[in-house]
Copies of this chain bind each other. A is one copy, B any other.
């Protein structure tokens, strides 16, 4: 029935020694006589013994487990980038002997937690700016790493959004574009603000005047972008490029452009952000900024484990660079 019947006590009885010696044979072999150790190991193997992590954790105060917290509203779980980030986190944790615990009851609502594993640390993906649980962790200085958000007192990994946006816009300018629409997200979202900052500074560096009318505040959705951009295009014939702050909005933009009777990318270029899986399969394929999701997840685990094992002092911080992936949706502006 149970797979977890063989305890250290039984092993001890079988070997005619104390549990302490068995424990030592396993964890501190150098403290045990060659002969005894051999006998123990043999029995251990024969009975397929596996230590009980619960008991171990109880006495050591460490559970070798990291909690992965994700926003409830599906931003993360529903996001295409979930897989990559998640993979990075788990692979990195596994290589250091840590388990990942998914605790859906504990999300950014900050509810009082009913029952919880005493995990060694938290990885929190895309928490909101005022997440109460993050605040709690900041106060208590409990081991934690934020992904996709920053904090002065907690560790984090995040993209350099401004630089990435700057790169995208620079590319468009290099291709001869000057009338570039920015499709931003919601006004108060940090990521979006940073990317807008990058957009602005690229324009400035290249001596192009910032035009407020060329900024659409979408809600990160395909639909809103489609509606808003379509309006904008009818009013402004000069527009030759669109930089959307995520790929979904880029898709909405492409739809609007097509329905306005323009050709992609001949008349209007589009650059997205994220490089989600469909990006390379669309037609034209989408030029976009790729985020190193896997690496960010991997690094997050590493940071957290380093902190837990005191190999490093919190807070650890790391900014990743986005990479502009050139595909078919953006090209040079046509001379008139």
Contact = CB atoms under 8 A, between A and B. Distances in A.
A104 interface: yes
Contact of A52 (B53, B58, B103, B282): B58
A2 to B, nearest CB: 8
Contact of A281 (B116, B118, B251): B251
A194 to B, nearest CB: 26
Given A105-B94, A277-B277, A48 B283 contact: no
Interface in A49-107: 50-58, 61, 63-65, 77-78, 80, 82-83, 86-87, 90-91, 93-94, 97, 99-105
A282 B279 CA distance: 9
A278 interface: yes
Contacts of A78: 83, 87
Contacts of A115: 50-51, 53, 56, 64, 97
Q: Which of A52, A102, A276 has the most CB of B within 10 A?
A: A102
Contacts of A31: none
A102 B90 contact: yes
Contacts of A112: 48
A113 interface: yes
Contact of A102 (B55, B83, B97, B99): B99
A47 interface: no
Given A140-B3, A281-B278, A63 B56 contact: no
Interface in A141-168: 141-142
A104 B91 contact: yes
A273 to B, nearest CB: 16
18 contacts: A1-B142, A4-B118, A51-B115, A54-B118, A56-B115, A65-B117, A77-B83, A77-B86, A78-B87, A80-B83, A90-B104, A94-B105, A97-B105, A101-B101, A101-B102, A277-B277, A281-B282, A282-B282
